[in-house]
Structure formats: C-alpha cells, structure tokens
Structure 1
Amino acid sequence: MPEAFASARIPGAVNLPYRDMTLESVSKLDSDLVYICSCESIHCNAATKGALKLAELGSKVKRLSGGITAWQAAGYPVDRDISTTALTAVTPSRCTC
C-alpha cells in the first residue's frame, strides 16, 4: 500500500508490493543480497506473501517480524514522506493485503 510505505519505512527501502512481483520486475535485484520484506505490523501478512514470492522467483529473502511498527518500537530509524508526517501522527495506516 503506497500510503503505508510513505508513512514509515526502513531507510533505503523500496516499495515492491507482492502483487506486482514478477520475474521481470525482480530481474534487476542483486542476487548477492538478502532482501528483507516488511509490512505494517503483526496484523498484516503482506511481508510473508512478499517473502514467499521473492523466494519463488529466486531471491534470498527474510521477513521482518512485527513489521515497521516493531522496527520503530525498537528505536530504529524510519524514513517518511514529509507530506504524510502530520497524517501518521493522528491516523495510523491500515493494511489492505
């Protein structure tokens, strides 16, 4: 969900929803890297679906348990789009996976 990605993400993250993953869309990924799939929280399964799809397409992958909310709660930094900062302080994004 673009809104959730805009509101908080791991620095350097790329938004590649599992529904958009194809052999062609992941062909430029570096095969030497391990990719981390994340989603909003423990209530979302998009990271699990993304990790499975990436693995099926030949990438090395791990899933971030607890999503970006657990990442933030542990004190790790996040990037966010400036236009969403005020909105996310009031309204958390909702998973639509």
Structure 2
Amino acid sequence: MTSLVRNIPAAPSAIALMHFSNRLTFETDCSDVHGSQQAGEVDFVLVDVRGPLAFERGHVPGAINLPGRLLTAEGVAGYAKSTLFVVYCAGPHCNGANKAAVKLAALGYPVKEMIGGVTGWLDEGFELSTEVQRPTAIGCEC
C-alpha cells in the first residue's frame, strides 16, 4: 500500500536540489532577517507593504512602510539599483509581498520575500515594534 505522500513520486535529487536552491534566491525567512539584525549585518532594506494603520499597530523592527499599492518608481528612486529589498506583509494568507516583489523586480531592483510575514515573525517569538523607521542609508541616495 502506498501512502498519500508517495502517491506522487518525489523528484529526482538533482531536480529537487535545483528547485529548492532556486527558491532560496527568491525568499528569506524571519529567522535570517532577525539574525542579520542581531549581528548588525543589515545589507538590505526591509519593507512592510501593509497599509499605514497595520504598520503603526506593529511591524518588524527596522522596517519601512511602503504599501504595495503606492510602490512606484518615484517612491524608490532614491535607492541604488543594487539595493536588495526584502518585502513582507501580514503572513501566508496575504499576497501583498508577492505583488510588491513583482513591482520592485519590474523596476529593476533585486528583491526577496520574507516568508511568513508578521505572522511568521510572531511565531518565531520575535517582538514587533511601533517605532516609525525612516529610510536608512543602505542603498539610499537620499
């Protein structure tokens, strides 16, 4: 008898290696963002793409608020094209981060999604902040 898990065979190891390695070029997780912050190795701009009210209620420390619907060439014009943006939204139930990533990539910026969003951040036991963060000098020519 075959389990539901094995009902569809797993990909060969070489294909699985390529698939999972490629996924890591598109995403990071809450633990990696937090670890980078704790080590003082923040070489990316963390962007909360939710609306201003949600951002004010609580966001990942160090994030700037740039709602996806307002993400435009003018809104990111002060950042060098080499700036890595890490976007997140409410959590796995929200596709706002994906929509923002599409916009940033279309504008020519490297971008990753912080999978899990606010929900993942809280699930990891990390605290949210209500402090408003101004854009940092990382990649910003402002």
Cα separation, 2, equivalents of 1:50 and 1:8: 19
- Note the aligned Cα RMSD (angstroms): 1.5
Query: Is the counterpart of residue 78 in structure 1 residue 96 in structure 2?
Result: no
Q: Which structure has greater strand proportion?
A: 2
Cα distance in 1 for partners of 2:81, 2:130 equals 27
2:60 counterpart of 1:10: yes
Paired-residue identity, %: 40
Distance in 2 (alpha carbons) for counterparts of 1:58 and 1:32: 9
Going from structure 1 to structure 2, the CA distance change for 1:28 and 1:52 (only over 3 Å counts) comes to same
Runs of at least 5 residues in structure 1 that lack an aligned partner in the other structure: 82-97
| TM-score where L is the length of structure 2 | 0.52
> What are the ranges of 5 or more consecutive residues in structure 2 without an aligned counterpart?
1-50, 132-142
The answer to whether residue 35 in structure 2 is matched with residue 35 in structure 1 is no
TM-score with structure 1 setting the length: 0.74
RCO higher in structure (CA 8 A, sep ≥6)? 1
**Per-residue deviation, 1:35:** 1.0
Which protein is bigger by CA-based radius of gyration? Answer: 2
